[in-house]
Amino acid sequence: MAIARLVAAAFCVAIPVLGQPLLTTIQDVLYKADGTRFDGLLMISWNSFESANQSNIVQQTMTVKVVNGNFRVQLVPTTDSNPPTYYSVKYNSDGRVQFEETWVVGSSTTPLRVRDVRASVSSPIQPPSQSPIQQSDIVGLTADLALRPVKGPGYSAGRAAAINPAGALEAVVGNPADCVLVDGTSSPCGGANPQFADGEPLTGAVDGSNNTFTLSGPPSPASSLALFRNGILQKPGLDYTLTGSTVQFLTGATPQTGDTLLAWYRLPSAGAIGGQELASSPVVTCSAAGTATSSTSFTSLGNCTFPANVLQSGDRVEIHFDLAHQGTAAAFEFRVLWGGTNLVNRPAAAGDAMIAGKGEAGVYNGGAQLRAESWGTALAYAAALGNAADNIVPPLTIDFQVKMSTATAETVTLRNFTVIRYPAQ
């Protein structure tokens, strides 16, 4: 009986010993492409399999630290496993998976390096096939793809592209030598190209009661008309209506005395209108009387604003102004600003009853080169040159400002100012 117990105990002890699988050591030093050592984690996972000595290895995942490039791990060989299997190894650094690879581990009594276990593309043991990844499985991919332009029914390879009303790409119809317009249409290059009216003053009495004005020609298309009242864009149907070349202001929007009305629009293809080509003619952008001030802080007495995208490289702007001083006891200072840059800035004496000045701005892509002249009753003539880096794409304002040197009842008045634009040809 005692002998039977001993045999049973020995058998129970022998079972785990016989079932212990052999292990292969993988040991190596990992580097990055820049020569620095890799630091991070190796996340090693596998499916269940049976080792060569019939030990059951269950599906699991283990994590191995890589410190200063060094790592060491022991794994059950898979080259003689049942079924044939492999280890999936993910390299994690900086909090994310950098890349992954497959290991096939053979039996070895000496440590192996990564190159000895890394499965090649031609390895007979490949990861199991996976289902195709769907677009919806990738966060944001479907939305991003929807933003891409798609081919429209008129798409054709090797042609200039235009965007149709549905947002799809189509080929521009026309002859190979034609020019393409911004609306996607084409026409022969050269000849009677569209003309443009830039900053054209409307014809009609600006007296607070008249609401009918005319343009030099009918805008074509009508939607090309950009009508400004004192630098503020007017809305068709809300502020005015357009019939041919006639502008009819609606009730409540009638221009008042002193208002400035300027129009920008496209004209039908023609060489000239009224014997003069509008696109290159001088344009009086602003011309008006200003206000008065007795303030000791710089105060705007009048200004002229070029709307966005009006000034172009090659334009020249001419500026004229006249000031009148009512009094003889207080000195004052006057300045003219081109955007945020001083065109002229001078102190005037108490005896300066009148000031006159003029300036020019030569516009280029980076700003404008300025020159100015000014003089007064007592103020000596002076000329100045300078550069302005003000962006010409947004609206740009020319501002006429004055301040008194001391508190006084005397005033300085902007009698008149005129701004003329010479468009580049």
What residue spans define the domains of the chain? 23-117, 195-280, 283-422
Coil, helix or strand at residue 28: strand
pLDDT value for 59: 93
What is the percent of the chain with per-residue pLDDT over 90, rounded to a whole number?
55
DSSP 38-70: P-EEEEEEE--EE-TT--EEPPEEEEEEEBTTE
pLDDT value for 123: 39
pLDDT value for 321: 97
What CA–CA distance (Å, rounded) separates 348 from 384?
A: 16
Residue 122 has pLDDT above 50, yes or no: no
What strand order describes the sheet that includes 96-103?
Answer: 60-66, 40-46, 87-93, 96-103
Domain 283-422: assigned CATH number: 2.60.120
DSSP summary character for residue 224 = G
What CA–CA distance (Å, rounded) separates 222 from 244?
A: 8
* Distances from the Cα of 272 to the Cα of 77, 197, 220, 362, 376, angstroms: 90, 11, 15, 26, 42
Residue 127 has pLDDT above 60, yes or no: no
Beta bridge partners of 61: 45
Residue 336 has pLDDT above 90, yes or no: yes
Q: Please tell us whether the domain made up of 23-117 is placed in CATH 2.60.40.
A: yes
The helix or strand, by DSSP H or E, that contains position 323, with its residue range, turns out to be strand 316-326
Of residues 332 and 425, more confidently modeled: 332
